[in-house]
Structures are given as C-alpha cells and as structure tokens.
Structure 1
C-alpha cells in the first residue's frame, strides 16, 4: 500500500481503496472469505472460524497490514490480560474461587515525538506548541518544559502536561486543576 513518507499514514486514495475492500468483505460467503484471505495475506486462513469471526479477523488483518499493527507493549499487555482471564476461568471451572487479579499497569506512554503539535484553547485563543527534540516552541520562543509554556500562556503556574490534556483530569472537587 502506498504511504506518505512523513507520517506513515495512508494517502487518501489508498485509504478509500482499503475502505472499499473491507466493505466488500460483507458480501462474501465463508468460502469467499477464505479465498480472499489466501489472496491478500498469502497464508491459509484459520480453519475453524465462523463466517462472522473470519470476516472480522480478515478486516483487522487488512487494516493492520496497511496501517500498522499494535505496538509491542500493547500486544504484550493484551496477551497478559488474555492469560489472566483463562487462568481465572479455569479456576472457576474447578470450583475454586479465584483471587482478584492484580491490576495490570498500562504500557508506558511512548512520550512526545519531535514534530508533534499540541493545540489548546485558552481565554478564547488557540495556542499551538511544537514538540522539539530538546524542548518546545510556542510563538517563536523555545521552552524547556510544557509547564513553562503553560505558564507563559496563562500567566499562572500550571502542570504543563495536564494543561495540554496529556494527563488525567483531576477528580471533581480535586483542588482547582493546577
């Protein structure tokens, strides 16, 4: 599939082609879906899947092939969640009460990549900040932290990541949000 070199995203015509291809899958019977799987993925489809499940899996695989699949950390997290669910089901089937599963922390955030644009409205004005390799730029000035940028925009002390929506919002009544 053709991609844009700067972002890795599909070009508009390639995205439309992918949409049409996935929409057309709904018209295929089970044999047609298996045939399309072999044509597009160059492998044998899973043999025991129902038509509905094969359709969903094929659509996912086509999208992942064109747009990119899950990152490694997310795939590992989903595998751990699935293993934990199977373990708990097996314990319940044996009649044992399963202990509460320990919370699985989310994968670490990949961080902000240089070139990312952060946009925030404040006091009726839109503010755009560009992430640099060693800081941030706003209105042709460079800052070392998002908190410095937030302070320059608002005139008050803010947690920069929270100001730009990169952190969870505080609980209601949590002290004003700064």
Structure 2
C-alpha cells in the first residue's frame, strides 16, 4: 500500500474526537509502534496521533532540536536523582498536654490549652486545632498553621 492510499484510509483530524478509544489506540500503535503510557486519556491520544501525523507530513523535529531536548532531559533527570525527596506535608509536631497556645485575631486574644482529650478554648473541648481555627475565623484554616505550630 503506498503512502497516499494509507493517508486516505486515515480519519481526518477533525474526526479523531469521534473515534473510540480502542480505535485511537490502534492508530497510536501504528505511529509509535508501542502502546501509550498507562492511563493516557483520549485527548492525549488525539494530540499524540495528530503530532505524529504532522511530523510524518512535515519532517518532525530537526536533529539539533532533538539533541538539545535529550540533553535537557538528561540534566533534569540527573538533578532529580541527586536531590533529596521532600514530603509534601510533613506531619505537625506533637503538642504536649499542658501546652498553651495563644493567637490574636481581629484584635481579640484567644488562648487554647492542649490536653489528653483534645484542645480546650473557653471551656469547650475541640478535637483539633483546625476546628478551633474555624470557630474563631468562621472559615476553614489549617489549625497548626493558624496557631503557628507548623511552618
């Protein structure tokens, strides 16, 4: 089959969105000779197929551009491997019973006592500092951050 008859069998770019995911997977494999990454969305398949068609029609990236991209990718990979992995949200510090936290909000001072049962403010026991922060502000806050016990 020659290239022009193969192109005639391919759906037009505007018709790709109407194809089933299974049909898009077949087209993807035709262009890349490998399955897409696991969980690739239909929109990603359409963009990848569209790019491959454009590269086939107009020649794709220049060799110099490919070399630059590979160099950047290697540098980023090497940098990522040398950096320590940081956790997104470190656990809040353990607040010892008997600790008193003080916060001023809108000109009023609030004192909270940490106990074994929770956090006490104005004689009411709360299960978390976030519940107290919400009671004070009326909106959802990170309690440890509101009281300055976490950065």
Same fold (TM over 0.5): no
Q: Which has the higher helix share?
A: 2
Provide TM-score, normalisation by structure 2: 0.42
From the CA coordinates, give the structure whose radius of gyration is larger: 2
Provide TM-score, normalisation by structure 1: 0.36
